[in-house]
């Protein structure tokens, strides 16, 4: 089946013979057995579920559904995007290993890697991924993994995945890609040769700003290793959140098509708006579109508080990707944990806002931002 059809017709994980059209919510902490022999059937592989921390039909449905969108062998859901990233790292790297990481990452991911994963005894090098020579020079005999984002946050650089796949294969390394901004609607890194793909399903997978979740996809063996980490660490996703994310996923292609179209319109309009110093919006990301995020750097005379107050129906939030258009402030939210020196190196300025473009009428979005910028001068 083609993408739009697969997006709607997901493999059901219902337990009973009589199937409902929508998968029920298995809101239970554990599954019941008739006797001890019956319980033993779980441990010998005849039954799938014992205790929801170890697996549940709703969370398994989400993991497999995103895996199908990514053309992956397997997928596993977790409590958040960061927990899925952690599980991916721990599925590949152990204390004493070395990992090469893109320096222009979501700030929360940077903090997770720099503080927690490094604290586990895994050596980390943050490298400019546009400099492939620097990436290759960073490879050592202990390197096991390269990690990056398909479209970076917040400056929207489109990663050269083919080049990183070639480099990874040359040195027998794994490549893990955060595909949150692109979604499988635009980019499918595994088709380029990546080994693992991770999503903050809180964003476009769920799509409605009402669930926090993560998904990791890839080969069966690696995903099984990640699933063990999620189970052991207790970072499993709850059944209702899994059910909500699956429900949202079914409209991914419709939402992304509208949001990408609106984002392109907004980026073009803002490039001509007095007071906007620079517009960041990728071109050539995929044949299906270039994403639903527009980042702008405003002139120094623009009062950001006046601008955000003047946006009327557009909310200011610390996240992205719902069906409503929203704005966030990278310096004060997503990249707050970085030092000022690091932010300056990456180009995250004090006058930068990130716009998550929704499914509203595109002309209304343009008018709202144009008027707000005008009033803030």
Last residue of a domain, one of 249, 283, 303: 249
Strands 315-316, 293-298: pairing kind? unpaired
**Structural domain ending residue among the three candidates 189, 224, 249:** 249
Question: Around Cβ 181, how many Cβ atoms within 10 Å?
Answer: 28
Residues 242 and 272 in one domain: no
**Of the residues 249, 276, 303, the one at which a domain ends:** 249
Name the pTM for this structure: 0.94
47 and 128 co-located in one domain? yes
Same domain, 47 and 172: yes
What is the torsional sign of CA 193, 256, 366, 265? positive
d(C-alpha 151, C-alpha 64), whole Å:
23
Query: Are residues 57 and 174 both part of a single domain?
Result: yes
Q: How far apart are CA 209 and CA 323, in angstroms?
A: 8
List the chain residues with pLDDT less than 70.
Answer: 16-18
* Cα 96 to the center of its chain, rounded Å: 27
Structural domains of the chain, count:
2
What is the structure's pLDDT at 190? 98
Interval 99-147: pLDDT, tens: 999 999 999 999 999 999 999 999 999 999 999 999 999 999 999 999 9
Chain mean position to CA 138:
26
- CATH code, domain carrying 133: 3.40.640.10
53 shares its domain with 182? yes
Same domain, 212 and 356: no
Per-residue DSSP letter, 53: G
Buried residues in 77-103 as b, exposed as e (16+ CB within 10 A):
bbbbbbbbbbbbbbbbbeeebbbbbbb
Do residues 225 and 82 share a domain? yes
The gap from C-alpha 115 to its chain's centroid, in whole angstroms, comes to 20
Q: Please tell me the distance from the alpha carbon of residue 177 to that of residue 148, in angstroms, as a whole number.
A: 5
Q: For 145, which DSSP code? A: E
Strands 352-356 and 293-298 turn out to be: antiparallel
Between strands 98-102 and 74-78, the pairing is unpaired
Q: Do 302 and 231 belong together in one domain? A: no
Q: Are residues 222 and 349 in the same domain?
A: no
**What is the DSSP secondary structure assignment for residue 82, as one 8-state letter?**
H
User: Residue 165 domain-assigned?
Assistant: yes
From 211, 242, 251, select the one nearest 359 (Cα to Cα).
Answer: 251
Q: Does the residue 4 lie in any domain?
A: no
In a domain, 258, yes or no: yes
Give the C-alpha separation, 136 to 332, whole Å.
33
If asked whether residues 256 and 240 sit together in one domain, one would say no
Domain-located, residue 3: no
In a domain, 27, yes or no: yes
What is the model's pLDDT at position 16? 66
What is the distance between the alpha carbons of residues 161 and 165, in angstroms, rounded to a whole number?
6
Per DSSP, the residues of 93-107 read: --TT-EEEEESS--H
Give how far the C-alpha of residue 337 lies from the chain's centroid of Cα atoms, to the nearest Å.
19
Residues 278 and 204 occupy one common structural domain: no
CATH of the domain at 354: 3.90.1150.10
Query: Is 135 inside any structural domain?
Result: yes
Domain region containing 90:
9-249
Flag whether 127 is in a domain.
yes
- Residues 103 and 157: their CA atoms lie apart, in Å, by 12
Tell me, yes or no, whether 296 and 265 share the same domain. yes
Which residues lie closer than 8 Å to 141 by C-beta, 6 or more apart? none
Taking alpha carbons only, the member of 331, 361, 125 closest to residue 258 is 361
């Amino acid at each position: 089946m083609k993408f739009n059809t697969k997006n709607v017709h997901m493999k059901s994980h219902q337990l009973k013979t009589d199937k409902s059209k929508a998968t029920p919510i298995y809101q239970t902490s554990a599954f019941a057995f008739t006797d001890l022999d019956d319980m033993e059937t779980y441990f010998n592989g005849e039954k799938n579920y014992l205790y929801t921390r170890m697996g549940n039909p709703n969370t398994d449905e989400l993991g497999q559904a995103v895996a199908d969108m990514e053309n992956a062998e397997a997928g596993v859901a977790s409590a958040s995007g960061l927990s899925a990233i952690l599980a991916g790292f721990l599925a590949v790297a152990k204390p004493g290993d070395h990992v090469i990481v893109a320096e222009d990452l979501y700030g929360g991911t940077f903090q997770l890697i720099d503080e927690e994963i490094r604290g586990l005894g895994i050596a980390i090098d943050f490298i400019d991924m546009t400099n492939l020579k620097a990436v290759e020079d960073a490879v050592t005999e202990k390197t096991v993994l390269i990690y990056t984002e398909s479209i970076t946050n917040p400056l929207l650089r489109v990663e050269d995945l083919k080049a990183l796949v070639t480099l990874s294969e040359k040195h027998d390394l794994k490549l893990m890609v955060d595909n949150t901004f692109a979604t499988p609607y635009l980019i499918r890194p595994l088709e380029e040769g990546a080994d693992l793909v991770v999503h903050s399903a809180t964003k476009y997978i769920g799509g409605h700003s009402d669930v926090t979740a993560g998904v990791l996809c890839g080969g069966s063996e690696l995903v099984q290793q990640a699933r063990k980490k999620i189970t052991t660490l207790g970072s499993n996703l709850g059944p209702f959140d899994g059910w909500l994310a699956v429900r949202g996923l079914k409209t991914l292609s419709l939402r992304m098509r509208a949001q990408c179209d609106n984002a392109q319109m907004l980026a073009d309009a803002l490039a001509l708006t007095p007071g906007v110093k620079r517009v960041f919006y990728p071109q050539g990301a995929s044949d299906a579109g270039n994403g639903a995020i527009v980042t702008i750097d405003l002139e120094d005379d623009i009062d950001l508080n006046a601008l955000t107050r003047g946006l009327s129906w557009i909310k200011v939030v610390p996240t992205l990707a719902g069906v409503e258009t929203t704005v966030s402030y990278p310096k004060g939210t997503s990249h707050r944990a970085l030092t000022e020196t690091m932010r300056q190196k990456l180009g995250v300025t004090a006058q930068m806002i990130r716009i998550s473009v929704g499914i509203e009428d595109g002309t209304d979005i343009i008018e709202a931002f144009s008027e707000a910028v005008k009033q803030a001068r």
